[in-house]
Chain A
Amino acid sequence: METIVQQLLNGLTVGGIYALIALGYTMVYGIIKLINFAHGDIFMVGAFVGLLAVNLIADSFIVAVLAAVVFCGFLGIFVEKVAYRPLRENSPKVVITSALGLMLIILLAVFARGDVAGIVSSGTFWIGAVLILAVMFWLIRGRVSGRNKNGNSRINALISAIGMSIVISNMVMLLNGPQREVYPRLLPDYSFSAGPFHISALQLFIIAVSFVLMYLLYYIVHKTKTGLAMRAVSHNLNAARLMGINPDRIISFTFLIGSCLAAVAGVLVGTYYNIADPNVGMMYGLKAFVAAVLGGIGSIPGAVVGGIVLGVAEVMGVAFISPSFRDAIAFGILIFILIVKPTGLFGTKMKEKV
């Protein structure tokens, strides 16, 4: 019995973090029907930016969170503009913005290993640059002239999202190296005993932060004008445009909020496990996505409930079945839910249009 309650608390902690990440998935899916695969990696970047800020500025939780939130907010908007918006719109401005963003990524990757002067003076670099520019020119011309129209299909957006996820996680590996980093203990951790249970203040803090942020999000979506616009865009993008809403701004705003929540989750996970790992983004992202599907994708309370259920189920599975099946539990739940009730616990059934 004691173990169960103890594990329940651990599960709530992990679940709160999953829920924070899942909110980003569910909001983006609700608005543009896209699984933002890069979201898990934005979470991981949040942890690393927090670490960087702590090393550069001050050893404080607030500094880490602020730095991570600001950076990831911009990163979320960047991801949307580079990888997703050109799949929705055909205007030359959008396409060229995306091309410039991609070039920025390539340059950053080339210079990631330092020695900028050495690379610039080498012939290979210039040959590569000319080749890439020529290909880009050809592609941009083809795209703007309408020869290569965007398919506006879901599969394209999904593959683009996967590409973005790979780019972000490997960029962190290029800049930082593939090794894990030790995360400083940013918050003092008191643990106290209540009867037979050991309760850690850090766990309570994580749970509390998660719930406060979730309430904040609920408030934004349901009580503010921007939230109203978000719901309108999610309902019908073109009708919202006719009502004087700028859907592009609303979509950017959605990515901004989701990424900020993921950034906070990143710093919390770093502080909790004392580790920042460039490889975890995909796995956390997928599990948070499972949480979002479990709760019913597109529903904010659903993401919260799904995250907590998943966290508890996983911790219980590790404690009572076998730790080596940890990753299989989440995906087993996912496949089960998809087969039995694809709309999730709180989802609404979507009618199929012919």
Chain B
Amino acid sequence: MDTVAGLFLNDYVMQIVTMICINIIIVSGLNLITGVTGMLSLGHSAFMSIGAYASALLMMKAGFPFWLSIAGATFFAGAAGALLGLPILRLRGDYLAIATLGFCEIVRVIFLNLPAAGKALGINSIPYATSAPVAVILAVLGLLFMRNLERSKFGLALRSIREDEIAAEMMGINVARYKVLAFTIGSAFAGLGGALYAHQITFISPNDFGFMKSIELLCMLVLGGMGSLIGVVAGTVTLTAIPEILRFASEYRMVTYGTVLIFMMVFRPQGLFGNIRVNV
């Protein structure tokens, strides 16, 4: 019995579980933006980096306790999301995707040049605080929040925007306001996940949060199925655990990601668990 427990409860497995929970929080934010509201975002990792840096700096420079600094990180990322959302929400589809991508690169370049953020070296020896139970509890709370949000009137409005923006506007939905709100909440989730990530890995650098990280997050969402929380969990577990199992073949990781994306789009556009099709 001891050996079985030891097999599944060692540090390595706990670390993967923590990572999965963190990714679930981040990807459920992306799900709200892309899956539920239908705005393709390729800049989700930018908010993750804002959260990670904000939390690390709040804790190390301002001496905040863990809970306050991750709350602050969530707030900062949400605020950044609102600031970005306000000007770019009138863009649609591809253009929105490209603008968020551009934002992601700009944020990376800013952190690369910011002396307070350690420039290219990033921040080292961030206090470790994200234990597996903390991550699991926050992930469950996050999923519950998202589930209730989607089932509420607010979620209904977001889904109607996804299905047909003009029709939604005709029904009296303030499309701009709802889009910015969805973007803000989604970004705040990414910020929370980023903060947890910083306190788990204990070192961050700007290049951890590049464009490829956004793609990785999108890949998790697409594999599981856009607009479905079960899909978010399934996609995240699969794509976080598989690279660990296939660690010996790590050079194939990105090729696999790319092929999975094409596969899903060509053969099963709704993803593993999705039952909706996002129209952009």
Contacts and interface: CB of A to CB of B under 8 A. Distances in A.
Interface in A144-175: 148-151, 153-160, 162-171, 173-174
Given A150-B269, A154-B93, A102 B263 contact: yes
A163 B279 contact: no
B267 to A, nearest CB: 4
Interface stretch (A2-10, A303-311, A335-343): A335-343
Interface of B is mostly: helix
B259 A139 contact: no
Given A35-B94, A166-B257, A335 B88 contact: yes
A155 B261 contact: no
Nearest to A353: B166
Interface residues of A, number: 60
Contacts, number: 161
Nearest to B262: A163
Contacts of B261: 159-160, 162-163, 166
Contacts of A173: 251, 254
Nearest to B87: A339
Q: Which of B95, B269, B280 has the most CB of A within 10 A?
A: B269
Interface string B96-133: 01110111011001101100000000000000000000
Q: What range describes how many residues of B lie at the interface? A: 35 or more
Contact of A331 (B88, B94, B103, B215): B103
Contacts of B40: 155, 158
Interface of A is mostly: helix
Nearest to B39: A155
Interface of A: 33, 35, 82-83, 86-87, 95, 98-99, 102, 105-106, 109, 139-140, 142-143, 148-151, 153-160, 162-171, 173-174, 282, 286, 289-290, 293, 322, 324-325, 327-328, 331-332, 334-335, 338-339, 342, 352, 354
The 4 closest A-B pairs by CB, nearest first: A163-B261, A166-B258, A331-B102, A167-B258
Interface of B: 34, 38, 40, 42, 87-88, 91, 93-95, 97-99, 101-103, 105-106, 109-110, 112-113, 166, 211, 215, 218, 222, 251-252, 254-255, 257-270, 277-280
